Each structure stands twice: as C-alpha cells, then as structure tokens.
A and B are shown apart, each in its own frame.
Chain A
Amino acid sequence: MYDLIIVGGGPAGVSAGIYAARKKLKFLLVTESFGGQSAVASEIQNWVGVKSISGFELAKKMEDHLKVQDGVEIEEGSMADKAEKIKGGFKLVLKNGKEFETRAILAASGGRRRRLGAPGEKEFENKGVAYCSTCDAPLFAKKTVAVVGGGNAALGAVGDLLKYAAKVYLIIRGEQIKGDPVLFEEIKKDARVEILMNSEITEIFGQDLVGGLKYLDKKENKKGELKLEGIFVEIGSVPNSEFLGNLAKKNEYNEVVVDHKTQRTSCPGIWAAGDVTDLPFRQNMISAGDAIKAVLDIASSR
C-alpha cells in the first residue's frame, strides 16, 4: 500500500511529486501525460524564473525535474477512473484497468476544455471548430477565423492565429477581458483583429466544413452573422473530478471543495489541488503552490 497516490501530471501533480519525494513518502504518480493544460500553449511568460518558454518545453522540464527525484514511481499513459474506500485507505482504479492501494490521495487531476454548447459545435469539431491553436493555426493560413473567450488562453490563441490568418475575430461573452492587459494590448494593435464584446455564439453552420457563425450581441440585443472558416474555442475548463465520485464534496461546477489552508477535502485521506478544486484563479504557479501545501499537510499529518 502506498502512502500517497498523486493523480495528475500538470504543475500541481509534478510539484506534489517533487515534494513527496523529498519527504520520502512512498508514493505513486498517475498521469495521462505531463504538463497539464498549458502544455499546448505556444508561449508561457509567467512561470517565475523563466522569461518565456513554450508549453511543451515547460512540460518536458517538469517531467525531467520529477524523474530525477529518488523514489519516484510513475504510472504514465492512463487516467484515474474510480476511487473507492477500503480498509485503511483507498483503492484507485485506472482507465486501463490497473488498480492500486493507498492511504492517501491527492487529486491534482486538473481540468479539460469546456465546450461552447452551441448548435453545430459538435458536428463541426475538427472541421473548422478547433481547441488547439498551436496545433491547428497553420491550417488556417490566409483565412478568416474567430477565437471565443476572454482569458489568457483565448488571447494566446489570437496571437497564434495572427501568424497565419487574414482576419481574426475575438468573441467575448462578457464586457471585460479576463486575461492579462499586456497580452490584450499586444493583439489589439493588429488591424486584422476585430473584437466583439457581450456576444454569444448561437449557431455554427457550414457544408462539409465550417462556413460561418451566428451570434447575439446581448448589449445591443442585435443578431449578427460572420462568414469564416475556423472557430477556436478557449472558454476555460471543466474539472476532472469524476473519479472521486461522491467520496469528496463538490460544488455546483463539479469542483472539489477544499480547505484552502491545507487543501483537505471533505473526505479524510483525500486532498485536492489545482484546477480540479474550487480555487478562484486558474494559474500554473497557483496550482503548483496549492499542491505543495497539500503534500506538506499530508506529510505532517501522518
């Protein structure tokens, strides 16, 4: 039986692993892959000590940093499917069917992309509707595209697309940008960018591939239509909290509710950190810090 199983290989999971190794806990880290959601970011400028780095490089560095620690056990390539209570701890079942027993669990399982939920989104997924701008931006060279969302991921996607596209619409549901002003000012300078605030996409249409979208400007209560070929959806994440079932309390958004001093959940023996929790800000360094708090609490409460 392990002292601890860390679920996740993003900034939270990897930070937890490094600290757990230094505390000499007998632990296992389970992850599909390393780096978390920002592994696909073309550039990260706010990881302290590193002025600029690609998401892929940072993911590699995290993985390397974890793997040089003594006593690290890693189960890579599958995700947690289910946690169950057993005598003295928990049984964790992975999607690939493997099972492990542990005294404690740290859920650092992060989140996955939120879908728009607009008619046509599913039908045109990968047929113009895209979720990875670093992957797919080059396929929209000289084309008109839209980015949906107002956070840093959306602003980054606009930047990725400006390297190729003829025109980029930025469609934001609210009346404010949530991302960093430094990024927003940078993209606003480009004449090819057009910003639609207070606007919601009501339909995505086309033949075989995306041909355009319909939207509603909620402030003016005005309907509009854009002819375009690509729609990049960057509207945040939903938590990967399903594997915990009803073991730990979750809020209305399915985020695991934690005590923010210790990262303890409502279930003794289960801690959670990072984007899977009810934290107000989604940031690599915050997730890393929260996960460290969890491990220090786990180590001291043994």
Chain B
Amino acid sequence: MHAEKKVKIYSTPTCFYCIKAKEFFAKHKIKYEEVNVASNMKEREEMVKKSHQLGVPVIEVGHEIIVGFDRVALEHALGIKE
C-alpha cells in the first residue's frame, strides 16, 4: 500500500482527461477531493496560482502538482506499480 497522500483534482464537467483521471483513481481505490473550476472561481484562482497555468485537469498529490492526466507521473506520485 502507498502512504496516504491527500489527492485533489481540479476539473471541469466535460473534460475527457478529468474523467480518465477519476477512472484511474477508482481503479486503484484512491480517495480524492474534486473541485469544479468551471463554476468555483476561488478554486480556479487557487489552481492557477499552484500550477501557473489554465488547463485542466490539475491533480494535487500531497505537495506535488501534476498538470494533465499523466499516468506515469500519477503512478510515481502515488507509489502505484502496474
């Protein structure tokens, strides 16, 4: 088992890669918090501040920021071995 790191995904409702990322979390039984940056302006600002960019998804694992659905980076950050 990997150490429990807090996982948060900044997403928009129609974003394909956000759905793929959430499928990935489900597959590996990873708990996560999701915020919709299409409607939540405060979270959107926080996302831009943390990731210095405007694309979704942005995934926060512990203190690590991952832009996009980067399977390899996620596996690494979460300590998952396929």
Seen from chain A, the residues whose Cβ lies within 8 Å of a Cβ on chain B are 33, 39-40, 42, 54-56, 59, 77, 96, 125-128, 130, 132, 134-139, 141, 160, 208-209, 230
Is there a chain A Cβ closer than 8 Å to B16's Cβ?
yes
CB-CB under 8 A from B38, the residues of chain A are 138-139, 141
Residue in A closest to B38 when the chains form the complex, CB atoms: A138
Residue in B closest to A141 when the chains form the complex, CB atoms: B38
Which of B16, B54, B82 meets A126, CB within 8 Å?
B54
Residue in A closest to B55 when the chains form the complex, CB atoms: A126
A-B contact pairs, 21 of them (CB 8 A): A40-B16, A56-B16, A56-B19, A59-B16, A125-B53, A126-B54, A126-B55, A126-B67, A127-B53, A128-B54, A132-B55, A134-B14, A134-B16, A135-B14, A135-B15, A135-B55, A135-B57, A136-B12, A136-B55, A136-B56, A138-B37
Residues 37-72 of B, flagged 1 when their CB comes within 8 A of A and 0 if not, give 111000010000000111111000000000100010
SS of B interface (majority): loop
Is there a chain A Cβ closer than 8 Å to B32's Cβ?
no
Given contacts A33-B20, A56-B19, A139-B37, contact A127 B54 (CB under 8 A): yes
Q: Give how many B residues have a beta carbon under 8 Å from the other chain's beta carbons.
A: 22
Residue in A closest to B44 when the chains form the complex, CB atoms: A139
Complex: A125 Cα to B68 Cα, angstroms: 12
Seen from chain B, the residues whose Cβ lies within 8 Å of a Cβ on chain A are 12-20, 37-39, 44, 52-57, 67, 71, 82
Report the minimum CB–CB distance from B81 to chain A (whole Å). 12
A42 touches B14 (CB 8 A): yes
CB-CB under 8 A from B55, the residues of chain A are 126, 130, 132, 135-136, 139
CB-CB under 8 A from B54, the residues of chain A are 126-128, 130, 136, 139, 209, 230
Residue in A closest to B37 when the chains form the complex, CB atoms: A139
Residue in A closest to B57 when the chains form the complex, CB atoms: A135
Residue in B closest to A41 when the chains form the complex, CB atoms: B16
CB-CB under 8 A from B53, the residues of chain A are 125-127
B15 touches A134 (CB 8 A): yes
Complex: A228 Cα to B71 Cα, angstroms: 32
| Those 10 A-B pairs whose CB atoms lie nearest each other, nearest first | A138-B38, A126-B55, A135-B15, A126-B53, A40-B16, A134-B14, A138-B12, A127-B53, A56-B16, A135-B56
A127 touches B52 (CB 8 A): yes
B37 touches A39 (CB 8 A): no
A sample of 18 more A-B contacts (CB under 8 A), given A135-B17, A137-B14, A138-B12, is A39-B16, A54-B14, A56-B16, A125-B53, A126-B53, A127-B53, A128-B54, A135-B12, A135-B56, A136-B54, A136-B56, A137-B12, A138-B14, A138-B38, A139-B38, A141-B38, A160-B14, A230-B54
